[in-house]
Amino acid sequence: ENRKVESFFYTNHGGSDVENLNIKGSQDGCRFGISQDCLRCIGFKQDTVTNIFRIVAAILNIGQISFEASGESKVTRCENPADATSAEKLLMVTDKSISEGLYKRTMHAKDEDISIDLTKQQALHARDGLAKDLYARLFNWLVAEINNTARSRSLHSNGLIGLLDIFGFESFPVNRFEQLCINYANEKLQQKFTDDIIKVVQEEYNIEGISWGGVSFNDNSDMVELIEGNMGIMSILN
């Protein structure tokens, strides 16, 4: 089914800002094609690429689900079962666990299961929670697969990336984006210090004809360029 981006609750800012969905100078269709080409270039097979977008499409359909509540505010049914059915088909779910499971909660008491109807607000929270969990699992899997594909196959590597780190503040088993930003800030501070204290002073000495022996230092310009350059880490992440 061909549906525009503004028709989906999750991609139209909840219907609050439909006019500002399009990015100037950016064609969604073109960027979608680039994304598919990149996935195939990394090594994903076409079936895998298709399944990735099936999950994304299912998430969008889940966001379309709304509920009808009774006089006691308990949900009695899904108002638009077609969207729930579409999500179930995309995720290959056959037991109506989405169309019916989002507004019912099952409790196990003694030897029997009791089905409890949720309120409309609780059902909407369950809907959004399911969508968020699916998206997070897909995103984490995708990052892990890309990292696994891009990693070096050699047991011995001579490559080295040096980052200035401030001593002893935090130590994590896995460094994440926040730590990259902290290291990036440290590199910029180091570059500023080098420029102001060493490079500028040396240039002044040369201009004034002052004899000096020269000071050797590690120039981290390449490191800063690696992070913030046009094809640097930040640009690629964006």
Cβ atoms of 117 and 74 within 8 Å: the answer is: yes
Question: Residue 207: pLDDT above 60?
Answer: yes
Q: Which domains does the chain have, with CATH numbers?
A: 5-150 (1.20.120.720), 177-237 (1.20.58.530)
- pLDDT for 166 equals 62
Q: What is the pLDDT of residue 15?
A: 60
Per DSSP, 164 falls in state -
Q: Which residue has the tokens 């509540």?
A: 69
Q: Which is more confidently placed, 22 or 51?
A: 51
pLDDT one-digit tens code per residue, 136-176: 999 999 999 998 888 777 766 666 777 666 665 677 888 88
Residue (of 129, 72, 71, 132) closest to 101 by Cα position: 129
Task: Give CA–CA dist 166/197, Å, rounded.
Answer: 20
b/e for 152-165, b at 16 or more Cβ within 10 A?
eeeeeeeeeeebbe
Predicted structure pTM score: 0.61
**What phi and psi values does residue 105 have, to the nearest 5 degrees?**
-125, 135
| CB distance 125 to 50 below 8 Å | no
Residue 53 pLDDT exceeds 90: yes
The type of residue at 4 is K
pLDDT at 184 over 80: yes
Only one residue has tokens 């030897």, namely 111
55-86 residue pLDDT tens:
999 999 999 988 888 766 787 778 888 888 89
The phi-psi region of residue 87 (left if phi > 0; otherwise alpha if psi is between -120 and 50; otherwise beta) is alpha
